[in-house]
Structure 1
Amino acid sequence: MSLKLTYYCPFDETTKIIRVPRETDNLYLQLHDSNDKLVNPSKIFKFSKCKTSEPSVHRSIHQYNDFNCFYKAKDIWEFDNIGVSKPPPNIKNAEFIKVKSIENGEVRNYAIVRYLVCGHCDKGAFGFGGYLLDSEQRENHVEIGFDLSTVNPNDLTYFFYY
């Protein structure tokens, strides 16, 4: 049995959001789209940090404190109390994010289809649900006007801002 750290909504401080293993291989760093450099979180996306059950331990990977670090959930059901935003109407309106696995260096591109918010107070965002796209797929989907609202939420990959 692995030890898990419980994260709570920072706005009401009582709603459990997710329990994340302290040692995990599902951690990803955000990359800048143009030259693959790591990016300070304040320059791209604005995610809210959740509170933990142990206030002195907010982030276990201290060497990445200046970067957007995400925990890749197994699926949406790993969260305790999460809500999601509406999807963008089409791929041209979507935001894109590139993330790199800390464990194996694998780089993936996602269209952000849903932002994750507290299921109780609807504030956030605490992460995102992404639709995996490589560069060629992205160009093809833009050309045909791919409708992101038709993507099944069970087919998304969910990332929690860690």
Structure 2
Amino acid sequence: MERSKYKCPFGCGTTIIRLPLDSDFKNRKEDQSRKYVVKQIENANFRFVQCPEENIQSIPSINNDGHIPFYKVDSFWDFDNIGVTKHVGNDKESHELPQIQLVSSGKSLEPVQYQICRYLTCGACDKGAVGFGGYVLNKDKGKRDHVEVNPNDLTYFVSL
């Protein structure tokens, strides 16, 4: 299967991830559930930067107005060259951790609230954030200790 390369938006030329050519979600219904858009971001003092597709000469968007599409990645190991920050927040006592509310383009149009635990950066130049790793906030279970969450247990999203 042919794949599109999505590059570092900061000009270093590194391939962040390769996705199927139809990752624009126009052709395959099953991939609709992988595309999300931001509904709301809380307690964040940063902006996500979109990774441009290799063959598209465009300026990446640097805004959080709800129009940045995110792609849900199956596994952390699907990335070509990605960096992951240490846990978000300075200590275990931090009460205002960033959260993001995403709406799927797929079957469910209900917003899903994620606790952001780690940011994704370019693996070569360490600039970002080009995505995040987090877990779904479950009203029944409450928040988890964000420092102790295993990075392998997080769901990862990259901004495209």
| Contact 2:52–2:58, Cα closer than 8 Å, also in 1 | no
Distance in 2 separating the partners of 1:148 and 1:157: 13
> Residue in 2 aligned with 1:30?
38
Match of 2:122 among 118, 121, 132: 118
Q: How many residues align?
A: 142
Q: Structure 1-normalised TM-score?
A: 0.75
SS at match of 1:154: helix
1:151 paired to 2:159: no
Match of 1:53 in 2: 54
Q: Secondary structure at the match of 1:14?
A: coil
1:77 match: secondary structure: helix
Alignment deviations for residues 77-134 of structure 1 (CA, whole Å, 9 cap, x no partner): 1110000111133362420111111011243111100000011110011010012112
Q: Return 5+ residue gaps in structure 2 as ranges.
A: 26-30
Distance 1:44 1:148, change over 3 A: closer
Residue of structure 1 equivalent to 2:7: 8
1:147 is displaced (CA, Å) by 2.4
Bigger drift between 88-97 and 76-85 goes to 88-97
- Superposed structure 1 runs of 4+ greater than 4 Å apart: 56-59
Which residue does 2:113 correspond to in 1?
109
Amino acid at match of 1:27: K
- Could you tell me how far apart the structure 1 residues matched to 2:58 and 2:10 are? 18
Identity rate, percent: 39
Query: What aligned pairs does 1:62-101 form with structure 2 within 5 A after superposition?
Result: 67-87=67-87, 88=89, 89-90=91-92, 92-101=95-104
